[in-house]
């Protein structure tokens, strides 16, 4: 992924919807992202965004479980804030680390990170440049713990702070209020809330001793799969490539990504076919594209594809060349 530049100022509330996970990933402006759908069913995504100079604020909704690779513009900080009412918080992971109560996510710009999110997931996002964050922290005599922000994927904030920032963002990003709050006031309110968060945060450094070992196994397996995508890989091959047992491989994938290695292989390959079908040109055939991803039993492939994406592969192809 290549870095993007900080967004320019804008006075409008931007609402973008999509019925495709990868297209939805591109709807968040000035990010570089790659989304794979990891559960079966029609995808519905929505982003409500308020962009300002050196500041971006948004709410994202996704209807299906996703595996996400994300990159924010450089010299910035991203905070991901799940709503208080998010009942599936424990099923969302950042770089394989699960969120605890009142944890928010945090990553510096120009640093790729991974998210695993469940179905019907909502999250608030704030991206701000280092310059703007430092400027407003100095005005309020707040000392920013940069080590926490740059080195920890999860930050814990007090219940009252979490409630307050949720209420603020929910109001300011609610569609029916889009014309009621002037942009300069909206920005001031967001910066005040952000200063409260960074002044009260503490790093969540609770990581099991086996985490790094499991993460290494998953990374090794994914690298192996990406270089052998044109054929069906067995669990035995994956275990051999990772130098581990079947049980350890299974536990590692379920712990880090929330799905089994077989599920990951199946969904990642189906998403790969879908991307290629959407990018196909006149004359290309479904069977040829499917074969490039290791699918040879075309009737079963078509059935699995429709089960996940809600349409037949030929329908995706026809729409792409229409």
Number of domains in the chain: 2
In this predicted model, what pLDDT tens digit does every residue of 86-133 receive, in sequence order?
555 557 899 989 888 889 999 999 999 999 999 999 999 999 999 999
> Which spans in 140-284 are helix H?
146-151, 159-172, 183-200, 211-226, 235-242, 246-256, 261-278
- The CATH number of residue 121's host domain is 2.60.120.10
Whole-angstrom Cα distance, residue 221 to residue 63? 27
**228 and 199: one domain?**
no
Is residue 225 included in any domain, yes or no?
Answer: yes
Residue 43 and residue 64 in one domain: yes
Say how far apart CA 82 and CA 90 lie, in whole Å. Answer: 11
Segments forming the whole domain that contains residue 157? 14-203
* Mean pLDDT for the chain overall: 88
Choosing from 203, 227, 250, the residue where a domain stops is: 203
Q: Is residue 297 scored above 50 in pLDDT?
A: yes
| Residue that terminates a domain, selected from 148, 173, 203 | 203
Q: What is the CA radius of gyration of the chain?
A: 21
Here the CATH number for the domain that contains residue 215 is 1.10.10.60
| 3 is a domain residue | no
d(CA 238, CA 222): 9
Domain membership flag for residue 7:
no
β-partners of residue 80 are 105, 125
Whether 134 and 248 map to the same domain: the answer is no
Q: Tens of pLDDT along 140-180? A: 899 888 888 888 999 999 999 999 999 999 988 887 655 56
Note whether 104 and 197 are within 8 A (CB). yes
d(CA 265, CA 226): 10
Residues 182 and 255 in one domain: no
* Residue 146 and residue 256 share a domain: no
Last residue of a domain, one of 203, 235, 254: 203
Q: CA torsion angle for 29, 30, 36, 41 (degrees, to 10)?
A: -10
């Amino acid at each position: 992924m290549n870095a993007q530049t900080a967004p320019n100022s804008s006075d409008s509330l931007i609402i973008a919807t999509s019925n495709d996970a990868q297209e939805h990933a591109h709807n968040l402006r000035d990010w570089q992202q790659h989304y794979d759908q990891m559960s079966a069913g029609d995808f519905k995504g929505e982003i409500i965004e308020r962009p300002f100079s050196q500041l971006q604020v948004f709410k994202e909704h996704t209807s299906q479980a996703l595996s996400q690779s994300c990159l924010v513009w450089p010299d910035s900080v991203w905070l991901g804030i799940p709503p208080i009412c998010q009942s599936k918080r424990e099923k969302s992971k950042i770089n394989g680390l699960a969120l605890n109560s009142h944890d928010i996510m945090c990553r510096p710009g120009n640093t790729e990170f991974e998210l695993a999110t469940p179905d019907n997931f909502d999250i608030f996002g704030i991206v701000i440049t280092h310059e703007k964050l430092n400027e407003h922290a100095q005005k309020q005599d707040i000392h920013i713990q940069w080590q926490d922000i740059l080195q920890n994927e999860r930050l814990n904030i007090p219940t009252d702070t979490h409630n307050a920032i949720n209420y603020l963002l929910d109001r300011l990003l609610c569609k029916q209020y889009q014309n009621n709050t002037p942009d300069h006031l909206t920005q001031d309110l967001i910066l005040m809330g952000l200063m409260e968060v960074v002044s009260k945060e503490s790093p969540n450094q609770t990581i099991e001793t086996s985490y790094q070992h499991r993460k290494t196994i998953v990374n090794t397996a994914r690298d192996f799969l990406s270089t052998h995508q044109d054929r069906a890989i067995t669990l035995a091959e994956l275990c051999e490539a990772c130098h581990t047992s079947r049980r350890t491989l299974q536990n590692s994938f379920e712990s880090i990504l929330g799905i089994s290695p077989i599920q990951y292989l199946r969904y990642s390959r189906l998403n790969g076919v879908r991307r290629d079908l959407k990018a196909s040109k006149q004359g290309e055939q479904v069977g040829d594209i499917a074969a490039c991803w290791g699918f040879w039993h075309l009737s079963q492939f078509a059935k699995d594809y429709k089960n996940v994406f809600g349409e037949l592969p030929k329908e995706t192809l026809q729409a792409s060349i229409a």
